[in-house]
């Protein structure tokens, strides 16, 4: 009898599958008939109000988490670029700056950026940024709360918007960390980070994304070539000028002491993580994912972002030999970042401009940004400003180019874009330079000569990144100069 039972069970399964297949076929046929009879059903532009709210909120949270992962990319990029004796300090700075950015933007920054704009210059001050009353009522299960939440006009959760905006300010702060690596005091750096994320960045944001005076004039910066990257670059440049170069970086005879990355594998990993995170950075800046229009626009943004980065790599490798004297992998990695930064102001380019398709414009913008970055690496050495990771050329120079390029292919007005670059640059640089000078005169901004030679890991933290290695402090020749002990 077991054999008969097995046969019967098999027959039942076969019949069940056939019945299921028949049901699915009938459903598909009925759907096709409906769509043929009423094409408008297939061309629906969006979804229901609550579904739209959920999709937009989910997009903010997921894209924001991906942008947060860029902090890991910056950590890898910087820790591989410095000497091994400073790698632990890099890790501390990056997790510290992300934490400070989150708290500063929660307590002060968001309100200064997006609060009721005062004279087009700054948002209304406020303490903390919290869920709306309607959302709290929804969580408490009160009647009518859902309708109130959906009817407020935002189309997404209040705190999902805060989270997505917060990870952008953390990115701006990360740019400063790499430029000043190996010689800036940890507490001075963290205090500057607090002021950058609580005040400087939010004021620039209020001028632009917050609906301030630059926004009223038509300034365009889709995801932050200037608002995020150039802001970080200007702050980094001011800090590098005040803190000064690493010991022996620029010899008295005018030559530059080579300082190759200690772990190029880790640097490459960091750049690839940043490249991945940039899809959230630019794609999420569509700020919606509840219609076919949003989906198509976001797809174009991601493709343009990828094309610009790829063009940046190839361009940097191609021109590194004539400019730097060698095929330079580090320049190629910075070329990827420069391409990403450049396209960030207008990654939504779609329509042909001047007979050139939008995607080809993305390639051109990324390639030019990369060329500017590689040339900038050489320029920084010429003017004797020590930028350990090339943050200023990759973020400031390429960011300014990308913002201007938005007027070439992205529909922005050239004079407005130029005004935005100059105004934001002047404000951020002057305020940052003043703050670094104040920190220099109070706390001091540079570690002692002894700590710098020994390494910040052992000298300041009392822990080494690679304790199994034998620590060999540098023995610099007097002729190599450098900063004196504070």
Q: What is the pLDDT of residues 158-188, one digit of tens each?
A: 999 999 999 999 999 999 999 999 999 999 9
Chain centre distance of CA 37 = 47
Q: Is residue 469 part of a domain?
A: no
End-to-end CA distance of the chain: 94
Q: Into how many domains does the chain fold?
A: 1
Backbone angles phi, psi at 404, to 5 degrees: -65, -40
Q: Which residue has the tokens 């070539």?
A: 225
CB distance 182 to 246 below 8 Å: yes
d(CA 46, CA 473): 63
Chain centre distance of CA 447 = 29
Q: Is residue 17 part of a domain?
A: no
CB distance 463 to 457 below 8 Å: yes
For the stretch 214-238, pLDDT in tens is 999 999 999 999 999 999 999 999 9
Q: What is the pLDDT of residue 397?
A: 98
d(CA 114, CA 21): 54
Q: Is residue 262 part of a domain?
A: yes
Residues 6+ apart with CB under 8 A from 365: 308, 339, 342, 343, 346, 401, 402, 405, 409
Confidence check: pLDDT of 479 > 60 = no
Average pLDDT score over residue span 268-284: 97
151: exposed, middle or buried (Cβ count in 10 Å: 0-12, 13-18, 19+): exposed
Confidence check: pLDDT of 33 > 50 = no
Q: What is the pLDDT of residue 4?
A: 40
Q: Is residue 83 part of a domain?
A: yes
d(CA 219, CA 415): 9
Q: Is residue 13 part of a domain?
A: no
What string of DSSP letters covers 393-427?
IIIIIHHHHHHHHHHHHSS--HHHHHHHHHHHHHH
Q: Is residue 474 part of a domain?
A: no
25: exposed, middle or buried (Cβ count in 10 Å: 0-12, 13-18, 19+): exposed
Q: Which of 60, 43, 40, 53 is nearest to 292 (CA)?
A: 43
What string of DSSP letters covers 1-49?
-HHHHHHHHHHHHHHHHHHHHHHHHHHHHHHHHHHHH-HHHHT--B--H
pLDDT band per the 50, 70, 90 thresholds, residue 463 = confident
CB distance 202 to 106 below 8 Å: no
Q: Which of 290, 295, 283 is nearest to 53 (CA)?
A: 290
Q: Is residue 295 part of a domain?
A: yes
Q: Mean pLDDT for the chain?
A: 88
Domain of 105, CATH number, reads 1.10.3430.10
Could you tell me the two tokens for 350?
């779609």
For the stretch 394-439, pLDDT in tens is 999 999 999 999 999 989 999 999 999 999 999 999 999 999 999 9
Q: Is residue 357 part of a domain?
A: yes
CB distance 282 to 305 below 8 Å: yes
- Domain residues for the domain of 311 are 53-129+160-461
């Amino acid at each position: 009898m077991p054999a008969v039972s097995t046969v019967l069970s098999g027959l039942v399964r076969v019949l069940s599958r056939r019945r299921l297949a028949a049901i699915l076929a009938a459903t598909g046929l009925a759907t096709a008939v409906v769509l043929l009879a009423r094409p408008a059903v297939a061309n629906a532009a969006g979804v229901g109000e609550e579904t739209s709210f959920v999709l937009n909120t989910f997009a903010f949270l997921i894209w924001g988490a991906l942008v947060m992962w860029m902090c890991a990319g910056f950590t890898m990029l910087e820790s591989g670029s410095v000497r091994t004796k400073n790698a632990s300090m890099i890790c501390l700075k990056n997790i510290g700056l992300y934490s400070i950015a989150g708290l500063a933007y929660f307590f002060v920054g968001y309100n200064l950026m997006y609060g009721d704009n005062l004279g087009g210059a700054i948002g209304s001050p406020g303490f903390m940024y919290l869920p709306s009353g309607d959302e709290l009522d929804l969580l408490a299960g009160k009647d009518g709360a859902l309708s109130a939440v959906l009817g407020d006009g935002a189309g997404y959760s209040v705190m999902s918007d805060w989270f997505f905006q917060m990870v952008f300010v953390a990115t701006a702060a990360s740019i400063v960390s790499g430029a000043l690596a190996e010689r800036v005091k940890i507490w001075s750096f963290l205090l500057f980070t607090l002021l950058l994320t609580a005040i400087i960045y939010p004021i620039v944001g209020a001028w632009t994304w917050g609906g301030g005076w630059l926004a009223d004039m038509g300034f365009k910066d889709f995801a932050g070539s200037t608002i995020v990257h150039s802001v970080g670059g200007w702050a980094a440049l001011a800090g590098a000028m005040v803190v000064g170069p690493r010991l022996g970086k620029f010899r008295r005879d005018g030559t530059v002491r080579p300082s190759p990355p200690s772990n190029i594998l880790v640097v490459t990993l960091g750049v690839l993580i940043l490249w991945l995170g940039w899809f959230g950075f630019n794609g999420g800046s569509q700020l919606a994912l509840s219609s076919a229009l949003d989906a198509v626009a976001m797809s174009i943004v991601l493709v343009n972002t990828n094309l610009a980065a790829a063009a940046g790599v190839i361009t940097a490798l191609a021109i590194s030999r004539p400019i730097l004297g060698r095929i330079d992998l580090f320049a190629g990695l910075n070329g990827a970042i420069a391409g990403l930064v450049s396209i960030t102001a207008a990654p939504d380019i779609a329509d042909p401009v001047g007979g050139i398709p939008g995607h080809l414009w993305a390639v051109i913008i990324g390639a030019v940004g990369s060329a500017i970055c590689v040339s900038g690496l050489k320029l920084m050495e010429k003017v004797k400003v020590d930028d350990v990771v090339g943050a200023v050329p990759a973020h400031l120079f390429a960011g300014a180019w990308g913002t201007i390029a938005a007027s070439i292919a992205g529909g922005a007005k050239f004079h407005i874009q130029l005004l935005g670059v100059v105004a934001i640059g002047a404000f951020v640089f002057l305020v940052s330079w003043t703050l670094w000078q104040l920190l220099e005169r109070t706390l001091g901004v540079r570690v002692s000569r002894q700590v710098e030679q020994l390494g910040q890991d052992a000298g300041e933290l009392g822990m080494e990144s690679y304790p199994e290695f034998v620590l060999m402090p540098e023995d610099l020749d007097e002729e190599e100069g450098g900063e004196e002990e504070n």
